[in-house]
Amino acid sequence: MGSAVEAIDVVKVFGDIRALDGLSFSVKHGEIFGLIGPNGAGKTTALRIVSTLLLPTAGTVNVFNLDVINDAAEVRKIITYLPEEAGSYRNLSGWEYLEFMAKFNIKGKNELNRMIKEAAEITGLGERLKDKTKTYSKGMKRRLLVARALMNKPKLAILDEPTSGLDVLHAYHVREIIKRYIEEHGVTVLLSSHNMLEVEHLCDRVALLNKGKIVAEGKPQELKEKFQSANLEEVFAKVVGLA
């Protein structure tokens, strides 16, 4: 069985900046894989390439054996992408937003209703789903968007900083949603985060990114043992020569 995501020697150049510089990684079926690193390391660019938003300057990326350049339309059928700090449509209610998004994947009315009900349950927003999303707090909005990203049971969910900027309770809720979905539906997740402590508890495997390159990769526990560190932050500091 092939990998869920296979990135080989990916380079992305914006003007004078080399955002990705020979990035290679592989995500297995059904795992939560984290790309972690500081701001500007290239995490978002990598996720945008996997989700067919950007084209790589060089290298190849396959998602379930589909090429993100040549088979982009097919790739979009099996993935969902959640951008960092994304908004929802301010004047739609939470329910209407879920309905709007579900209609891109589902045709039948019964299945549509079932999917929206399930998504509504994931959000945990209850009656507030009837309110316009402009009245939501940042945490509520994120729960809505994560539910949207998972509700159609994609083969691969790409989540950019899923808990960034959330308080402890909302971050915990979002992490629980992701974990539960993986267990129940076997969705593969590729996520990015600069919160290394959080990722340590959420991801099966991680890749540490710095200046567009992977500087270390493996299970969090293995990396900590290998670099004799108490947590991934220390691992990162040692790898990039800060400690």
- Rounded CA-CA distance 147/181 in Å is 10
CB of 138 to other proteins, least distance (A): 13
Work out how close the CB of 91 gets to other proteins at its nearest, in angstroms, rounded to a whole number.
11
Smaller CB separation from other proteins, 34 or 154? 154
Distance CA 202, CA 196 (A): 10
Q: What token pair was written down for 106?
A: 């589902």
Residue 191 tokens, joined:
């996520």
**Residue 132: strand pairing partners:** 93
For β-strands 156-160 and 188-193, DSSP reports them as parallel
Per-position b or e across 179-207, b if 16+ CB within 10 A of its CB: eebbeeeebbbbbbbbbbebbbebbebbb
Q: Could you tell me the smallest distance in angstroms from the CB atom of residue 116 to other proteins?
A: 16
Cβ-based nearer residue to other proteins, 47 or 223: 47
Token readout for 94 is 């939470």
Closest to other proteins by CB, 209 or 223: 209
CA distance 217 to 26: 10
Q: How far apart are CA 84 and CA 188, in angstroms?
A: 18
Q: In angstroms, what is the minimal distance from the CB of 12 to other proteins?
A: 9
Nearer to other proteins, 17 or 58 (CB): 17
> 158 exposed, middle or buried (CB, 10 Å; 0-12, 13-18, 19+)?
buried
Shortest distance (Å) from residue 140 CB to other proteins: 15
Cβ-Cβ contacts under 8 Å for 219 (sequence gap 6 or more): 204, 205, 206
Residue nearer to other proteins on the CB measure, 92 or 227: 92
Q: To the nearest whole angstrom, how small is the minimum distance from the Cβ of residue 74 to other proteins?
A: 9
**Nearest CB to other proteins, comparing residues 100 and 172:** 100
Q: Which residues bind other proteins (CB under 8 A)?
A: 14-17, 19, 39-45, 48, 51-55, 73, 76-77, 79-90, 101, 104-105
